[in-house]
Amino acid sequence: MASLDPATVELPTERPTRVTAVYVYEAPVRLWHWINAVSITVLAVTGYLIGSPLPTMSGEASAHYVMGTVRFLHFAAGYIFAVGFVFRVYWAFVGNHHARQLFVLPFWRRSFWIGLIDEAKWYLFLKSRPKKYIGHNPLAQFAMFFAIGIGSVFMIVTGFALYSEGAGPGSWQDHLFGWVIPLMGGSLNVHTWHHLGMWAILLFVIVHVYAAIREDIMSRQSMVSTMISGVRTFKDDDPD
């Protein structure tokens, strides 16, 4: 673990070896990742409970505020998620080049698609050894671009559109996001799409957690520890 000082950080991109350690995820990116993980968990649980509420409370209505609390948690976590996402977009501009990967799909770059097929082959057990990657591998980048890059925007836009219904006409939420409701064919449809979005993100989380652990064990670079320390290390000295 010799090369942690910034001078050598970006240099060995071509041939990372066992002694190479690349600082990939800067502290704000890591912090965002874990805040996102917590807020998505809270959003999914409370969101589900808004759609399918808990069993009825007995006694006077004035003695309880269950649905109110569930909704408050959902809205609070939603705000944290949205503010975090805006910050993350900002960091894509001012952070290192790895911070941009989440928002970019290099559609016209041939090597990206070749890499994606290569990585897919490894996941289909058609190859016995994957390539080395300093940032996200192409398959991961592809999944994250849609699930987090696009998915977050979709959930934030539909979420604030629904929130604007309570905030009322004239609120900033209504000005910025109210147009979504007629566009999607009414409030009920926005609810349904927002609900489906939750499930889509949940599917991503299942695959994401599995792939991260599997990569940590089976790939040629560090994975889970990298999202804690920010440093990517490699398990062999082979080229490519």
Partner 1 sequence: MQGLETFYEVMRRQGITRRSFLKYCSLTAAALGLGPEFVPQIAHAMETKPRTPVLWLHGLECTCCSESFIRSAHPLAKDVVLSMISLDYDDTLMASAGHQAEAILHEVMEKYKGNYILAVEGNPPLNEDGMFCIVGGKPFLDQLRMVAKDAKAVISWGSCASHGCVQAARPNPTRATPVHEVITDKPIIKVPGCPPIAEVMTGVITYMLTFDRIPELDRQGRPKMFYSQRIHDKCYRRPHFDAGQFVEAFDDEGARKGYCLYKVGCKGPTTYNACSTVRWNEGTSFPIQAGHGCIGCSEDGFWDKGSWYARLSDLHGVGFGIESNADRVGLAAAGVVGGAVAVHAAVSALKRAQHKGDTGRNTSNANGSSHTGDAA
Binding site for partner 1 (CB under 8 A): 51-58, 61-68, 70, 123, 125, 127-131, 165-166, 168-169, 178-179, 181-182, 185-189, 191-192, 195-196, 198-199, 202-203, 206-207, 210, 214, 217-218, 235-240
Amino acid at 69: T
**Rounded to 10 degrees, what is the CA torsion of 147, 152, 153, 157?**
130
Q: In a 10 Å sphere around its CB, with 0-12 CB exposed, 13-18 middle and 19+ buried, how is residue 132 labelled?
A: buried
Q: How far is the CB of 14 from partner 1 (least distance, A)?
A: 15
Helices (H), 99-234: 110-123, 138-144, 151-167, 172-177, 180-183, 187-218, 226-229
Query: Which residue reads 């990569």 in tokens?
Result: 215
| Residues whose CB is less than 8 angstroms from the CB of residue 223 and which lie 6 or more positions away in sequence, other chains included | 212, 213, 215, 216
Least separation in angstroms between residue 187's CB and partner 1 is: 4
If the CB atoms of residues 70 and 92 are measured against partner 1, the closer one turns out to be: 70
Residue 4 or 66: which CB sits closer to partner 1? 66
Residue 6 or 169 with smaller CB distance to partner 1? 169
Question: Minimum Å distance from CB 31 to partner 1?
Answer: 27
Residue number with CB closer to partner 1 (6 or 68)? 68
Residue whose CB is less far from partner 1, 26 or 165: 165
For residue 103, what are the contacts with CB-CB under 8 A and spacing of at least 6?
A: 89, 92, 145, 149
Closest CA to 111 of 141, 148, 152, 151: 141
Of 38 and 209, CB closest to partner 1: 209
State the nearest-atom distance from the C-beta of 208 to partner 1, in Å.
10
Q: How far is the CB of 240 from partner 1 (least distance, A)?
A: 5
User: What angle, rounded to 10 degrees, do the helices at 27-51 and 187-218 form?
Assistant: 130
Shortest gap between Cβ of 207 and partner 1 (angstroms)?
Answer: 6
User: DSSP code of 84?
Assistant: H
Taking the least distance from each CB to partner 1, the nearer of 97 and 214 is: 214
- C-beta of 55: minimal distance to partner 1 in Å? 8
> Sign of torsion, CA 29 32 38 39?
negative
